[in-house]
Amino acid sequence: METRRVADILKNGQPEETVIIKGWVRTKRELKGFAFTEVNDGSSLAGLQVVLDNEIPDYDTIIKKVNTGASIEVAGKLVPSQGKGQKIELKANSVIIYGEADLETYPLQKKRHSFEFLRTISHLRSRTNTLGAVFRVRNACATAIHQFFQEKGFMWIHSPIITASDCEGAGELFTVTNLNLNNLPKNDAGEVDYSQDFFGKPAYLTVSGQLQAEVMAMAFQNVYTFGPTFRAENSNTSRHLAEFWMVEPEMAFCDLEGDQNLAEEFLKYIFKYVLETCPEDMEFFNKWINKTVLATADNIINNEFARITYTKAVELLEKADKKFEFPVEWGIDLQSEHERYLAEELFKKPVIVSNYPKEIKAFYMRLDEGEKTVSAMDVLAPNIGEIIGGSQREERLDVLERRIQETGMESDDLWWYLDLRRYGTVPHAGFGLGFERVVQFMTGMTNIRDVIPFPRTPLNAEF
């Protein structure tokens, strides 16, 4: 007989059906001659209540081994439950113990653990209610993302993880090398001689797949990347990881407005999909993690995002009767406190801010008329701040060359990127969405380290 998933049994199981389940014991309550255990197989927040009584073979030895954390297989019959909290339970006919778990040392006892502690046992924490729910929602977000783009005819493209171009020019790069670090080859100037390195020049872990996505958009029109990106930013915040996943759609024949429309439709789609596919998990977050997540999700799905220019945003911030740590004036990069004020307090919903000063944005963003601003846009969300950053790209060769010079980029490295403007250039636009930020936003989890299975942050690469 095929093993059934607990989620399926809880939803579709009928009394008198015989089933087999496999999973991990969450709790056990022993009474005279019988016991209740809850078995969780990761398919849903709720486990299945299993009743064991002394009619099953080897009851006395088995019951000693059915402890929190143990892995077991149960065959039996579904029966209506007498207890509160579930309508169906499993009456065991036989139990197989796969692996015992020592009661004394198993770190996940029934009490509540702090997320800090759980991070120290990331190899076990997925078996808790909260992290279980997080990773199911994470999976649903990923599915929603692919489904959204595939339904719209976007092609999923795979940008390289190792690259020789620093897309943002931000300098938060991890170097990739196979040189002997204890005996580095040096040139006459005393600098590291990268010509002897694996790629014959400096190479890095990618910070963004955008430039390559632009290449592919110039052949397939609408494309997206969805993969890991890396930033060696030494910022210990609750919103930054050294390794995170990014989604980067890129559209040919598209301007900034089309880009904003896509971003809004996209976020709405993800939220709707997760609410529909993970209702239990979402209710759990709303009850235990952040009492506003369901209302926020509703707000996102049902309201139009606010759209303002950077100039307007600065005006609003200057007028705000609130003291900011970083003073506001035209030209500054908006800080998290500013972003959150706009989204959380002023508009109380996501806000798309566009047309930022060119000095604070990347070289590839399209220069606006008047040449003070570029066609960039950020989507700011309540509780999170920036969740999406995007722009219309500079498609004019002469302007792009000028911008590369102004920003001190190395145009030799970008010859292929410039070629796109030489051969069949078109207006195009795209954005980057931090995948973990979405999961954080969805679930209300305050620390980004708790929405990725194995977080990579400064001084931390365990597991």
Question: CB under 6 A: which stretch of 138-146, 249-257, 296-304, 382-390 binds ligand ATP?
Answer: 382-390
Query: Under the criterion CB under 6 A, does residue 387 sit at the interface with ligand ATP?
Result: yes
Q: Give the whole-angstrom CA distance, residue 159 versus residue 87.
A: 48
The answer to whether 437 contacts ligand ATP (rule: CB under 6 A) is yes
55 CA to centre of own chain:
48
Give yes or no for a contact between 367 and 403, defined as CB atoms under 8 angstroms apart: yes
Per CB under 6 A, contacts with ligand ATP among 312-341 are: none
Closest to 41 (Cα-Cα) out of 81, 72, 17, 64: 72
**What is the C-alpha separation between 459 and 448, in angstroms, rounded?**
16
Cβ closest to ligand ATP, residue 240 vs residue 268: 240
* Tokens standing for residue 194: 């990268």
Per-position x/- string for 61-100, each x denoting binding to ligand ATP as judged by CB under 6 A, each - no binding: ----------------------------------------
Part of the chain binding ligand ATP (CB under 6 A), chosen from 135-143, 198-206, 232-240, 256-264: 232-240
285 touching ligand ATP, by CB under 6 A: no
Cβ-proximal residues to 164 (8 Å cutoff; 6+ apart), any chain = 199, 201, 202, 203, 204, 413
Closer CB to ligand ATP, 244 or 417, in the complex: 244
Strands ordered across the beta sheet of 203-205: 162-163, 203-205, 175-176
Separation between Cα atoms, residue 33 and residue 329, nearest integer Å: 74
Task: Between 213 and 241, name the residue whose CB sits nearer to ligand ATP.
Answer: 241
Site map 158..197 versus ligand ATP, x via CB under 6 A:
----------x-----------------------------
* Residue carrying the six token digits 């989604």: 247
Under rule CB under 6 A, residue 52 binds ligand ATP: no
The yes or no reply on residue 350 touching ligand ATP (CB under 6 A) is: no
Q: Which stretch binds ligand ATP (CB under 6 A): 47-55, 347-355, 402-410, 434-442?
A: 434-442
Q: Is 402 exposed, middle or buried (0-12, 13-18, 19+ CB in 10 A)?
A: middle
Amino acid at 273: Y
Cβ-based neighbour number of residue 445 at 10 Å: 24
Beta carbon of residue 246, minimum distance to ligand ATP (angstroms, whole number): 5
Q: Is 244 in the site for ligand ATP (CB under 6 A)?
A: yes
| Residue 231 interacts with ligand ATP (CB under 6 A): yes or no | yes
Q: Which stretch binds ligand ATP (CB under 6 A): 238-246, 321-329, 402-410, 421-429?
A: 238-246
Does 432 sit near ligand ATP (CB under 6 A)?
yes
Coil, strand or helix at 75: strand
Output the six-digit token pair for 54.
Answer: 């002394």
CA pair distance 287, 281, nearest whole angstrom: 10
Residue 386 in the binding site for ligand ATP (CB under 6 A): yes
For position 240 contacting ligand ATP by CB under 6 A, the verdict is yes
> d(Cα 156, Cα 372) in Å, to the nearest integer?
34
Q: How far apart are CA 442 and CA 141, in angstroms?
A: 9
- Which is nearer to ligand ATP, 154 or 435 (by Cβ)? 435
Return residues touching ligand ATP (CB under 6 A).
Answer: 168, 231, 233, 239-241, 244, 246, 386-389, 432-434, 436-437
